[in-house]
Chain A
Amino acid sequence: EPEVTQTPSHQVTQMGQEVILRCVPISNHLYFYWYRQILGQKVEFLVSFYNNEISEKSEIFDDQFSVERPDGSNFTLKIRSTKLEDSAMYFCASSGDTNTEAFFGQGTRLTVV
């Protein structure tokens, strides 16, 4: 069964460092998303990406964040200068077309120290 895969599963970084979280969405999907879940809190939308551009982003997705689809398979989230409060589980998701559910990856746990 096709699945969304994320690497790494756990990333520890120093405050102020840049991190890149990687995702391989399901191959024939068109819409790509990043969500995050801070420990003990709800899953929050960060950004959606369609047709090689951001289609929607939340207030969380400020100038420190960027997304890229550098080739036909990967979808990356970059945090330019990490802060302690960026520590969370980051989930990538993808979906096919309208009215279909989003499939989530297993997540990357980012710990900023």
Chain B
Amino acid sequence: DQQVKQNSPSLSVQEGRISILNCDYTNSMFDYFLWYKKYPAEGPTFLISISSIKDKNEDGRFTVFLNKSAKHLSLHIVPSQPGDSAVYFCAASRYGGSQGNLIFGKGTKLSVKP
């Protein structure tokens, strides 16, 4: 039962262009969404989050958009840089982000080519 789905296992983007990573969820009880970035042999690193009461949150080159009616969120990275190459995980929580467990998607491997 995949409550959080990342349907694209990989994405390749040219340096300087926009990277758009997508995530869908099925559980309407989720109220907090997060994006994590993961390099091989390291733990996930928090990137950006959004509460369900918002539809957009921006932090530097990273913007997360939430469409509650479609149960869809996306992460935009612009401009993309080679150092952004990593696996990106979408995660969702029912308890405001930290009290409960995070449900992760399977991840999307982003490759940013110079």
Chain A residues near B (Cβ < 8 Å): 4, 6, 31, 33, 35, 41-45, 48, 50, 55-56, 58, 91, 93, 95-107
* Distance between Cα atoms of A95 and B89 in the complex (Å): 18
A9 to chain B minimum Cβ distance, whole angstroms, is 9
Known A-B contacts A102-B46, A104-B43, A106-B43; A56 and B106 likewise in contact (beta carbons under 8 Å): no
Look across to chain A and name the residue whose beta carbon is closest to the beta carbon of B89.
Answer: A43
A72 to chain B minimum Cβ distance, whole angstroms, is 20
B63 within 8 Å of A by Cβ? no
Determine the main DSSP class of B at the interface with A: loop
19 contacts between A and B (CB under 8 A): A6-B43, A35-B104, A42-B89, A42-B106, A42-B107, A43-B91, A43-B102, A48-B101, A50-B99, A56-B101, A98-B97, A99-B32, A99-B51, A101-B49, A101-B98, A102-B46, A104-B36, A106-B41, A107-B41
A58–B101 contact, CB under 8 A? yes
B100 within 8 Å of A by Cβ? yes
- Residues on B with C-beta less than 8 A from A95 are 97-98
B34 within 8 Å of A by Cβ? yes
Known A-B contacts A4-B43, A104-B44, A107-B42; A33 and B101 likewise in contact (beta carbons under 8 Å): yes
Most buried by B among A31, A35, A42, A101: A101
Q: How large is the interface on B (under 10, 10 to 19, 20 to 34, 35 or more residues)?
A: 20 to 34
B25 to chain A minimum Cβ distance, whole angstroms, is 13
B16 within 8 Å of A by Cβ? no
B82 within 8 Å of A by Cβ? no
A95 to chain B minimum Cβ distance, whole angstroms, is 4
Known A-B contacts A99-B32, A101-B34, A101-B49; A91 and B101 likewise in contact (beta carbons under 8 Å): no
A89 to chain B minimum Cβ distance, whole angstroms, is 8
Known A-B contacts A99-B96, A107-B43; A45 and B101 likewise in contact (beta carbons under 8 Å): yes
B77 within 8 Å of A by Cβ? no
B32 to chain A minimum Cβ distance, whole angstroms, is 7
**Apart from A42-B89, A43-B89, A43-B91: 7 A-B pairs, beta carbons within 8 A:** A4-B43, A33-B101, A42-B104, A43-B102, A43-B104, A48-B100, A101-B46
